[in-house]
Structure 1
Amino acid sequence: MQVRQTAGVSFQGASGLIGSLRQFDGLQGGSFPLLAVDVESGWQLEYWGGGCTLLTGYASERMLGNPDAWSLLCPDSSARSELLLKLAEVSGEGVVHDIRAADGSARRLMWWPGPAEDRLRWFLLGEASADAGHGGSPFAADTEGETLEAMFSHLPDMACLKDGDGHWLLASPAMRQHLQLTRYQNGFSDAELIGQNRAAADFLRESALHEEAVWQSGEPLRTEEVFMDPQQATRLHDVLRVPSFDRDGRRRHILVLRRDVTELRSASAKLELAGRVLDQSTDGILIADASHRVVMVNAAFSEITGYSQDEALRLDPMLLTAGQQDEALNRAIWQLLDSQDQWRGEVWNRRRTGHVFPQRLSLSVLRHRGTGAITHYVAALSDLSSSKAAEERIATLSTLDVVTGLSNRAQTAQHATTLLDEARSLNEHVALMVVDIDNFKVLNDSLGHDIGDQLLRTVGERLSAAAGVRAVIGRLGGDEFLVALPGLRHTAEAAQAARSVMSAVAEPATFAEMPLNISISIGISMFPADGDTFDTLFRRADTALHVAKRGGRADYQFAMAAMNDASLERLQLESSLRHALDHDSLRLEYQPLVELATGRIVGIEALCRWDDPLRGAIPPNVFIPLAEESGMIEQLGGWVLQTAARQLQALHEAGHDNLFVAVNLSARQFQRGVVLAQVEDALVRSGIPPNKLELELTESVLLHDGEAVMSTLRQLKALGVKLSIDDFGTGYSSFAYLRRFKFDKIKIDQSFVRDLIDDPDNAAIVRGIISLALSLGLDVLAEGVETEAIAQRLRHLHCTFAQGYYFARPLRPEMLAERLGG
């Protein structure tokens, strides 16, 4: 007999009651109805065998450690007390008592007691007839030894129990048959049995040697033993030997459990061979259970579809036909499969990237041999992309965007509609996002269409990576994309997803050696709250996108029922702004600009204010974008220039002729080509010296139509006015503009100044801008100075000018005159 030791087995309490019950239960496949209770801790269940689950429907996970376990079995408190009282008093005879099964039905069970050990006691459950009374053990035994012997008689595998001296106490029927023993030969030693059965001599000697080794080690041992059966066939046994000792360490019993695993090992070898065949197959194989949960895919499946094995385990097998243009055909395929158990044909599938490809697909159903219930689905697929016919069909059906490789507008709408249909059937929520790249037209016109295309591809790739494999992503045209995210539970998840997408797109990028900051705006509609069809959801998301862009860009907005009211409010606000311009109802406030070295006010910045009679004060970040989008910016910008120049002249006449006024110019004013004429007109009407007028331009102005802007700037410079760059460092900053044109001043944005003391990065940026400006002979103005500490730090860095609440808030003209007079 050949022996292979496979593992040393260590069971907590293996020689105790729980360990013994677990060993007995495990021998016969976990279906023995055994349970054990701790009588000293309120009859808490300590063991619940698989057979108990079969009888009652309650799984061990629900019963063990559950203080309400007995309440499940006996919901009625009086019946429960009666049962526990009977079990506490029962000795050799069984107890019949009704319990409530997990399905709600009443079950009559016979409870037979087993021997107790310390505070634990075990019971054996069995079905009882409706008229059963208190009966004896099912083994017709009165003593604990006879009960244990009866249990051995029901074990299907070879098992024996020996005492510390090697005498046989109990043997299962399979063991007695193998050794040609009778039940009355218990009590013999191995040597005596060898004398009676020479054929089993080798078997008994080898077993005795291993048992002695177990006694010596004092630990359970599991081995695999190879021997010849009486028919001279090779058999393989899995053998577990468990010793037990008394309190003084003397040998007490040894339990030997043998299971013939010859067929099991053969089946395992066949399964391994089948697995190797699947792995070597060039066809993709997917196996799913009856609940459509994928349990296995082979390497070819991953290679064909692009899904890794881990990703494939989370797929829905119905996605194998998700590339079908006809959704009705897709459903029909799976209906035929369930009714006919097989389906074969050529269909379209979708790879992980979203690209569709033609495949030859074979679907099969596996059913239980006994009940006929579906147990598994098997899919075998092969890629037909390389065939000429498939290539022609791909070319015909291809609806991808040529720039980004994403779905184009038509296919995106179709995929999104399919996604909505799936969400409707699954009762899921979907977020439909319309995405727009901020300032894309300015970038595309100024940097060239090649870089613009690179930017579109980068944004498309980042959207795909951030949205996930279940999302529908496509380019709608221009700089607009669509992202549809399924499986959401509420708008908070959609908001989190939008922030994640924005963050992913905003990662630094370099195009033609030029670093660019990318930002996007997003409009979001929710299915089914905001609509039931793709067209409705798209319209509302698109409206929300415009709201997001009006709010300052780099933001997201949800479409809500009040969106129409918001549109009406915008029209009314636009009408009120036009009325205010026509009737000179706007006004200017001025924020002093201070020379840091002396603390003197040397200039003022003109800030436009609008006090609407009905709405009150309207913030500039609301009405200025409204003026730009509605075309009123030309009129508004001209009014600001005229008013600021006229009021500066009044201050000059009052004795403050050293002051200059700074006026912000909009990019739309440059686009309309009216800036030069408006500046000339303001200078002529007011009579102020040109060098007392400073025009502030944002970097977005410089990016638009570069040569035309530069020509206008040169003409303005020829007039003698001053030019400064506003909010330097926050946009698409490039020192190239400083080389191409000599500005007079750079304004450092308040976002850097505010954290100058506490943020080392901002401090480095401010220091670098000041150093750059001074080296180029430019003045520097810091915005947003609110504390003495910041002002002092700026003086130390040799910053020229500053403005902010530390020096003064924006003042009306009369208050400014008082301040200057003081």
Structure 2
Amino acid sequence: MSLPTEITDFLGILDESPVGVSVSRRRDGMVVFANRRFCEITGLGREHCIGHPARRHFADDAQRHEVVRQLRESGEIVDADVRFFRADGSSFWSVLTIRPATLEGEAVNLAWIYDVSKRKQAEQAILDGKSLIRAMLDSSTDGIVLLSPEGTILAVNAAASAIFEEDGEALPGRPVWNHLPAAVAEPMRRGVERVLTLGETVESHHAIGARLFDVHMHPVANAAGRHDRVAVFSRDVTQSHQRRQQLRKLETALEQAPVAVMITDSQGAIEYVNRAFVLVSGYSEDEVVGRNPRLLKSGETAATVYRDMWRRLAAGATWQGELCNRAKDGGLFWEYATISPIRDDDGTVTHFMAVKENITQRKETEQQLVHQATHDTLTGLPNRLLLEDRVHHAIEVAKREGRRVGLMFLDLDRFKIVNDSLGHVAGDQLLKVVSDRLRHTLRRSDTVARLGGDEFVVVLTHFQNSSELAEVAEKISAALDEPVELSGHKVHVGTSIGIALYPDDGDNFNSLMKDADAAMYRAKQKGRNTFCFYDSHMNDEALDRLKLEEALRRALVRGEFQLFYQPQVDLHTGLTTGVEALIRWNSPERGQVSPALFIPVAEESNLISMIGWWVLEESCRQIAAWREAGLAGIKVAVNVSGRQFLNHALVECISDLMAQYRVLPSQLEIELTESTVMAEPERAIEQLNRLREIGIQVSVDDFGTGYSSLSYLKRLPLSTIKVDRSFVRDVNNQSDNAAIVSAILGLADALDMSIVAEGVETEGEERHLKDAGCIKVQGFRYAKPMPADQLAQWMRREKSGI
């Protein structure tokens, strides 16, 4: 349609309008003009508007039909909310106004649109918020009513409708007083007046029929800030009130109960204690609430009792038993406790209740009777009855743990003379002194008992060998040989001691007593104030070991130890790849002492650790000396005992020694026996990893003689396996040894470890090992252990090819 210039100018003005404007023909609905703002709002270019039907802009067909209907009826549309399409297919809300007009004789519709999407979104948010508030109010279990100053119901929630027993939609507009009993309505009127007058919250409690309600009334302000409405919140507290009454009765009963009552939560935190608990424990309620019942723990109740208690409680059962607890003042008291779980309606344990009867007096009486029956009246020491029970228990434990039990029979040497010359009172005093000295000489874990007269028995359980028993016997002899002041006289008694061992000499109380008694008489025959083992063989052996241990102590101080070194040879090259450091003892009194003799004694005492530290330092010192002499690169393998290996300071000690003597990690190797590694595999793994972190390699000595677990062996960061000499000996002729060596070689290959075969002495053994794939060997066939200076000569000859 061609338009005159004045109309074109008019439409040009409309093009600059901030309101979206379009012009469409009435006869066919085709758009003939769209201003710039219309195109911006719809996202369409003019070419996509002009010449296209206006109806395609409507996003809702129902709205489009309604617009067409109104245009036909009234000829115009005023401020209609309509959704239009954008170019991207999304829709938006617009206010639409359409006016009829005529352009050049053509009937047209002039349309104005305003984008009101944000307003619509805000309106929707308000509607959603109102719905949410309504849902929240209706979900509340409290009754909520909004009242006018006159008491007219303005709004109610579902819970309030249930209280009034009325339809919630019918209640607004009615006076609330019509739905309340007169006894409730009147105080409620006064409450509403007070709320609106003073602007404060009013609380009250009312009964409606058989139900009780807590009522809270709050002022509600209008937009101007004036309080013109009252919000009433009503909570049905009938059940909680009944429960409170029941709990009050129960609490009264508990407070007056003669037994202590404690209630904790499921985690053991104390929530309630009654008066009897306060009286018996000395703790006030404030001092214990929130704390754990273990604050009463005395340490006197056996751990097995607590384990049984928690096992039953964890299973949801009731536990009953006796507990020895400690009061606030430090005193002990005994209780017979019944502890039961408390469950909620779902069966979940929420609390525990303990009802405890004080049985301290009964227990003290029982303990006094038991003590009188099992202890000597004069000295307070265990008597024969208790002694027999303890020996029986010690034997059972020793049987399970593979230990030994030592029983010493003591007889005072000159007691009869003292008793006859100074009287029975002095004799009794002497027995008390002897008892005290025995108690102070022995460990708490040992038992000392009095049989009667001047006879005592000592039972020892934790010892490594018979020489330790000999040491204890010497200490007892020394303690009892000290003079005793009696009635102005200094008397010397001394004692003869007979020693018997389980299981060596007997496997029951009577046999051990008989053997120890016989040994005691033999001690008296030897001159009194001494001791004697039941077996003379054992007696001599124990004394020898004791003397050897003393000599070892002196050897450390005097510097009687020396290191010898045995080369380890590569079978392919014939060259020395390293040496093993072996300790030797040159005793001025005993001559050359075999390691097989003194190492076990050192291991049974603390001496092995001191000797081990000396060996480590001497090895590092010698490596440094060889380096200064031009023999760098010699690798030394040092044997470390199990006690020294598990010492946490081992790694730090080795690091310090390497730094002090400038020894490289590649020059030092640690050798452990298989039994040492497997004694505590988890600790061994930790220690081995620490050694590996500082670059130290570790080999397993005497492999095949212990009980290695492959599951642990593969986790151990080991570098070398040393095949024990017992498997190498005659390996070329012994099929069993050959099979074992082959298996060890295969295992080492699978675990990526090297092999050293020990004790090679013959050409046949060497040939078999070489054919089997063993590369490194050690033994007399190549060299005996030798001092450091001889090894230096050996290494120089090897280098020069002599």
TM interval, short-chain normalised: 0.3 to 0.5
TM-score for both structures, normalised by structure 1: 0.34
Which of the pair has the greater relative contact order for Cα pairs under 8 Å at 6+ separation? 1
